[in-house]
Amino acid sequence: RAAAGAAAWSGPGRTADGHRVEVLANVADGSAAVAAAATPAAGVGLFRTELCFLGRTTEPSVAEQAEVYAAVFEPFADRKVVVRTLDAGSDKPLAFTGHTAEANPALGVRGLRIAFDDNGILDRQLDAIALAAGRTGSRPWVMAPMIATPAEAAWFAERVRVRDLVPGVMIEVPAAALLADRILAHVDFVSLGTNDLAQYTMAADRLSADLAPLNDPWQPAVLALVAATARAGAAAGKPVGVCGEAAADPLLACVLAGLGVTSLSCAAGAVGAVGAGLARVSFEQCAAAAEVALAAADPAQGRAAAMALLG
Ligand code: PEP
Ligand code: MG
């Protein structure tokens, strides 16, 4: 079982021949961060801040938010932490944003879009992140969810830079993957959200069990967008991570590394298996597996072909 291999892996993330791929943990709050800090994860690749406030009908104050964020920064004081600003809306409605019901919430006002009506929610959250960073001596990377255009990335990055934080965006909308080079001109890193990228690429609701075969990160079209984003990152000399569930599948993790992704962030429980999976293959094997997965007719064929190359 994966857990047996996990116990043997102690980091850092790299293939058998030494190609570095950071293995990071996804967390939802301070107690999850304490648990993740006990793994060999090189840091936090996705802190889903909206999960801290799901039940709230009033906006948490800057001071209250700062306390919640500091509880995640502290256990990772000497490691990287990527904080995601509120990904409200769609499957994660936040009552305090004043957001109203929509006919197609996944295509509605979610993620960074809640900040566009100038309600100050984003600025107060960034103030809280900066306050927590100052208090804990951290310099967090801060990324926005649901970016669709380079202009949105520029707008967000400016607000992050004035607070001396490191700006990035999620690539989870196909439009953003297609223009990743222009987005990367504005930010210091990007992170692929393969859950939503699959949903929007395949036009298949991520919550629909009936559409699960379509909504699959092994879909060659999804992998093609990952590859395009990784190429743009390499050309810009900037990190391209994956923080969707795809990164938790040790086989797919090797394929993503082969596509050129520079970090993988997954549930803390999967960190050991992903790290161990990378450690037993060469980068050349990963690249070959990526090539066959991209060329496959469908997810099942891609997985089988990648498995044959990765053992
Ligand atoms: C994703 O979409 O892949 C992602 C990491 O974000 P979430 O699952 O929180 O939407
Ligand atoms: Mg997402």
As for the ipTM of the complex, it is 0.99
Ligand 1 atom nearest the C-alpha of 244 is 3
Look at residue 2 in the predicted model and tell me its pLDDT. Answer: 47
110 lines ligand 1 (CB under 6 A): no
**In angstroms, rounded to a whole number, what is the distance separating the alpha carbons of residues 270 and 102?**
35
**In angstroms, rounded to a whole number, what is the distance separating the alpha carbons of residues 213 and 290?**
20
From the list 292, 233, 279, 231, the residue with the least C-alpha distance to 253 is: 279
Q: Which residue, judged by its Cα, is nearest atom 3 of ligand 1?
A: 193
Give SS3 for 201. helix
Ligand nearest to the CA of 241: 1
Q: Which residue, judged by its Cα, is nearest atom 4 of ligand 1?
A: 193
Q: Mean pLDDT for each consecutive 10-residue tract of the chain (311 residues)?
A: 60 97 98 97 98 93 98 96 93 84 92 91 98 97 98 98 98 98 98 98 96 97 98 98 97 98 98 98 98 98 98 86
Instruction: Compute, in angstroms, the gap from residue 8 CA to the centroid of ligand 2.
Output: 31
Look at residue 99 in the predicted model and tell me its pLDDT. Answer: 79
Element (H, E) at 191: strand 189-192
**Ligand 1, pocket-test mutation among 44, 94, 243, most atoms within 8 A of CB:** 243
87 lines ligand 1 (CB under 6 A): yes
Going by the DSSP 8-state scheme, the letter that residue 59 receives in this structure is P
Ligand 1 atom nearest the C-alpha of 196 is 2
Question: Is the Cβ–Cβ distance between 164 and 137 less than 8 Å?
Answer: no
Residues with CB under 5 A from ligand 2 (ion): 172, 193, 196
152 lines ligand 1 (CB under 6 A): no
Going by the DSSP 8-state scheme, the letter that residue 89 receives in this structure is B
CA distances from 136 to 27, 50, 58, 113 (A): 18, 21, 26, 29
Question: Is the Cβ–Cβ distance between 255 and 285 less than 8 Å?
Answer: no
Q: Which residue, judged by its Cα, is nearest atom 10 of ligand 1?
A: 196
Which two three-digit tokens encode residue 71? 């509880």
272 lines ligand 1 (CB under 6 A): no
Q: For 25, list phi and psi in degrees, rounded to 5.
A: -115, 145
Look at residue 98 in the predicted model and tell me its pLDDT. Answer: 82
Q: Which residue, judged by its Cα, is nearest atom 9 of ligand 1?
A: 48
Which bin fits 97, alpha (ψ -120 to 50), beta or left (φ > 0)? alpha
Look at residue 89 in the predicted model and tell me its pLDDT. Answer: 82
Instruction: Compute, in angstroms, the gap from residue 116 CA to the centroid of ligand 1.
Output: 20
Instruction: Compute, in angstroms, the gap from residue 218 CA to the centroid of ligand 2.
Output: 17
